[in-house]
Chain A
Amino acid sequence: MVPVQYYLLLSAGLFCVGLFGILTRRNALVFLMSVEIMLTAANINFVAFSFQHGNLTGQVFSLFTIALAAAEVAVGIGIVLVLYRNFRGVDVTEAATMRW
């Protein structure tokens, strides 16, 4: 049996990859993907601890998270579309006109 620490390391690695994507990339679609990767990292944590404690609640929660991620992608794609329409591109740093 693989110890829970390895899963946690994997999850932390994935989270950092997602965070790196958000902090460095400008493409809105890459943003969405990075967010998905971070959510996956959270899911791995849920499942790992569920397995560790022998309690199924964590796994149920990860199912919820997957459903929520799907909804989020739908909304996110919508935002990306509007962004494209208004700024002729999907660069998130361009959309900075609503500040002071």
Chain B
Amino acid sequence: MVAFDYAPAIALLPFASFVIALFAGKYMPKRGALAGILATGGSLVLSIWMAFTVAGGETYNEELYTFVSPEAFDLHLGILVDPLAALMLIIVSLVAFLVHIFSLGYMNDEGETGLPRYYAGLGLFTASMLGFVLADNLFMAFMFFEMVGLCSWLLIGFWFRDDAPPSAAKKAFLVTRFGDYFFLVGVVGIFVTFSTATYAGSESFVRLAEEALAGNVGAVNTFGFEPQTWFAILGLLVLGGVIGKSAQFPLHTWLPDAMEGPTPVSALIHAATMVAAGVYLVARMYGFYALLPTVLAIIAFIGGFTALFAATMAVVKREIKQVLAYSTISQYGYMMLGLGVGGYVAATFHLMTHAFFKALLFLGAGSVIIAMHHNEDMWDMGGLKDRMPVTYWTFLAGSLALAGIFPFAGFWSKDEVLYEALVHGLNDPLLLGAYAMGLLAVLFTGFYTFRMVLLTFHGEPRSETAKNPHGVGWNVKLPLAVLGALAVVAGFINMVPVAELTGANIEFLHKWLEHGITGVTSEHYGELLSEFAGYQAAELSPLIPAVVSLGLALAGAGLAYVLYSGASPERHTDRLGSIKTLLMSNYYQDEYQVWLADATTRVARAADTFDQGVIDGVVNGVSSVSLFSGSRIKRVQTGVVTNYAALLSLGLVALLVVFGLLGGWF
């Protein structure tokens, strides 16, 4: 198909905007913003074209460039466009496009300096993420995964002259790197086990693993382990990278600090790129995870726990972006829960709706922050509802979606995740526990979401800036309007409860993910789950769980309304006493990780001593011996020609003597 010839351009266009912004940005009228907008807009158009082509039944799985030929290790760059990738491409390029437009209002109009660097970072970030989505093998995915991490470091630390952003950037980089070490080991492990790391096709590692578990081990090397055990180890290693990037417990600590970056960057990181990369990776190689019930249970449990754990912390935060940060961690917990309980479509659905409403909420928060002259404390806001109506209504739509209120996007997707967790959990107590945590988190989500909305927009203004907020331009309102509309309607593509009730054929996302390349479809994953992981779905109407979770969300929202709806609400969190201190300190996770890091300092010091003493000692010794002997031996060259002549003659005599002795002349 001709459309797929342009697939590399989806990632190359933002890369071009990176190059342009970096080298020519300072000569351009908007400092590289226009290049970025054009490039991501081009990517969006191409992605939509890909999606239409995929909808026509075509898929694409080709190698583009080979590093090492397939005989030993198959290291290559390639492109895989199937329904999942096409969907993700649209999400990423759409959010990136809107973030670029929003940046005009947030960065250019606010008179920031260093804009070419900013737009170069955004371009590279988008390019890396699109490359990651297009990748057809784990090796290429790992390369782009690391580039995404690098870009997050560049962008979170954009305001590098202040104290906090560089430190937050370092933390984000190091914490995700820690997960990536496991990922790297996992990728190498997959290479030595299967000799390939491609996702799709009959020679893919996913298919080889499936055959190995079915008894046909073939050339798969499991190092003496049972295939099931060994694959679980590999799956957990790769999961390390996912937990780091998708900010799951216990590696979630970098994400709230990453709020130090510019707000559009937060929107890009948390909605569509970096954090989504982890969940996308699990979805991408779901055929592998579907074989491993142990790993699936771990994913589900981590996801459910993270959803609840992060939601409780969001309840007490003062800064609007902090609330959103913890809600992001919590929502990605739901996606992991969905993947872990076998709800591949549900998790993908939540990934999509979350990308839209979370990007909307971050951009809305950015709009509020512009209005508040970069004050993020919600206790200084209030009453912004009448002063910035566009932001208010779109933000409200996003909040309703986040809280999971009918009929906004988040309701449908979160409900489907929870439904999948429940129907599989009825046969497995561990999954039921994960479901219970996810369900309880709904209550907290409703509460903190509406606490945020009420404190920010309702009541009386609590500061001078809130009385006279700074206005925002079209470049802020347009992305908000687009995403606001999507936050309302995006859920309608997959209304499972309605489909069950009416029998109407409207589960479009299920149908979308069912076709594609053989072996990487949701249908095949379902077979794998029941055959290898032993997942059995209980018969249950989706209506009752939906009503339960909606009721909990409404209860949370109602509680927030009761507590915070007055003209000048009280600080009810103070009444929590020591629990508030615990929550404000994020359960002392940072302290405990710093303590862990400190505890390993002695090992690091010993390694440093070894490096400085032995390794460097040998290198330095070799060079100083050469230097010293050179400085002595050069004295032979006197520059006096007579000495040279004497040495020549003596050499000749010596040679003659040696020949004479050896030749037996004497």
Indicate with 1 or 0, residue by residue over A76-100, a CB within 8 angstroms of chain B CB atoms.
Answer: 0000000000000000110111111
* Distance in angstroms between the alpha carbons of A93 and B649 in the assembled complex: 18
For the A-B complex, the count of residue pairs with Cβ-Cβ distances under 8 Å equals 29
A100 contact from B634, B641, B642, B649, Cβ within 8 A = B634
Asked whether B640 is an interface residue with its Cβ less than 8 Å from the other chain, the reply is: yes
B638 contact from A19, A22, A23, A96, Cβ within 8 A = A96
B640 contact from A19, A24, A93, A100, Cβ within 8 A = A93
Q: Cβ of A24: which chain B residues have Cβ within 8 Å of it?
A: 642
* Distance in angstroms between the alpha carbons of A97 and B638 in the assembled complex: 9
Report whether A23 and B640 are in contact in the complex, using a CB–CB cutoff of 8 Å.
Answer: no
Q: Cβ of A22: which chain B residues have Cβ within 8 Å of it?
A: 642, 645
Asked whether B629 is an interface residue with its Cβ less than 8 Å from the other chain, the reply is: no
* Distance in angstroms between the alpha carbons of A92 and B646 in the assembled complex: 14
* Distance in angstroms between the alpha carbons of A21 and B344 in the assembled complex: 98
Indicate with 1 or 0, residue by residue over A22-60, a CB within 8 angstroms of chain B CB atoms.
Answer: 111010000100000000000000000000000000000
- Which of B120-137 touch A at CB < 8 Å? none
Report whether B649 and A23 are in contact in the complex, using a CB–CB cutoff of 8 Å.
Answer: yes
Report whether A23 and B639 are in contact in the complex, using a CB–CB cutoff of 8 Å.
Answer: no
Report whether A100 and B637 are in contact in the complex, using a CB–CB cutoff of 8 Å.
Answer: yes
Query: How many residues of chain B get a CB closer than 8 Å to chain A's CBs?
Result: 10
Given A19-B649, A23-B649, A100-B634; A95-B642 close (CB under 8 Å): no
Q: Which residue of B lies closest to A26 (CB)?
A: B642
Q: Which residue of A lies closest to B630 (CB)?
A: A100
Report whether A93 and B634 are in contact in the complex, using a CB–CB cutoff of 8 Å.
Answer: no
Q: Cβ of A99: which chain B residues have Cβ within 8 Å of it?
A: 637-639
* Distance in angstroms between the alpha carbons of A97 and B634 in the assembled complex: 14
Q: Cβ of B639: which chain A residues have Cβ within 8 Å of it?
A: 95-99
Q: Cβ of B637: which chain A residues have Cβ within 8 Å of it?
A: 99-100
* Distance in angstroms between the alpha carbons of A31 and B640 in the assembled complex: 13
Report whether A92 and B649 are in contact in the complex, using a CB–CB cutoff of 8 Å.
Answer: no
Q: Cβ of B638: which chain A residues have Cβ within 8 Å of it?
A: 96, 99
- Which of A12-26 touch B at CB < 8 Å? 19, 22-24, 26
Which residues of chain B have a CB within 8 Å of any CB of chain A?
634, 637-642, 645-646, 649
- Could you list 16 A-B pairs, sorted by A, with CB under 8 Å? A22-B642, A22-B645, A23-B646, A23-B649, A24-B642, A26-B642, A31-B641, A92-B640, A92-B641, A93-B640, A93-B641, A95-B639, A95-B641, A98-B639, A99-B638, A100-B637
Top 5 nearest A-B pairs by Cβ distance? A96-B639, A99-B639, A100-B634, A22-B645, A93-B640
